[in-house]
């Protein structure tokens, strides 16, 4: 399950995984962001806030996640990973090879720093 909030004033999608990721999580995310992207253009950023990567419920969830990334990565300028999990460092370096967004890892207590990084239009 993923809890998410779209800050339309700043064009930032906040994503907070709560348990193993399911295919429906990404369908719901698309229902939130696709109309916004169609109306206003790209998102300034995506912030993923999680203590640890929860994994996928099943193979279908993993495939749906990868499709969501493939279909949306060109519409997101920056991705902030807010976590103390070692996966954050790995993801920061690995993701840069597969997505067009700038990706940066922040410690769990640095949600505001991640938000400010996205809002800084460098």
120 closest CA partner among 28, 6, 10:
10
What pLDDT digit, counting tens, does each position of 11-60 carry? 999 999 999 999 999 999 999 999 999 999 899 999 999 988 888 999 99
What pLDDT digit, counting tens, does each position of 80-113 carry? 999 887 665 555 545 654 566 888 889 989 999 9
Side-chain-side CA neighbours of 100 within 13 Å: the count stands at 11
Note down the domain range covering 36: 2-119
9 closest CA partner among 54, 48, 45, 60:
45
Q: How many domains does the chain have?
A: 1
């Amino acid at each position: 399950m993923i809890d998410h909030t779209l800050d339309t004033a700043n064009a930032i999608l906040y994503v907070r995984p709560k348990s193993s990721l399911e295919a429906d999580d990404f369908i719901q995310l698309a229902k939130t962001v696709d109309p916004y992207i169609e109306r206003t253009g790209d998102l300034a950023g995506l912030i993923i806030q999680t203590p640890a990567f929860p994994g996928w419920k099943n193979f279908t969830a993993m495939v749906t996640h990868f499709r969501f990334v493939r279909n949306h990565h060109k519409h997101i300028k920056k991705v902030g990973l807010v976590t103390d999990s070692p996966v954050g460092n790995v993801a920061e370096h690995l993701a840069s090879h597969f997505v067009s967004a700038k990706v940066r890892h922040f410690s769990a207590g640095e949600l505001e720093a991640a938000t400010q990084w996205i809002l800084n239009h460098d």
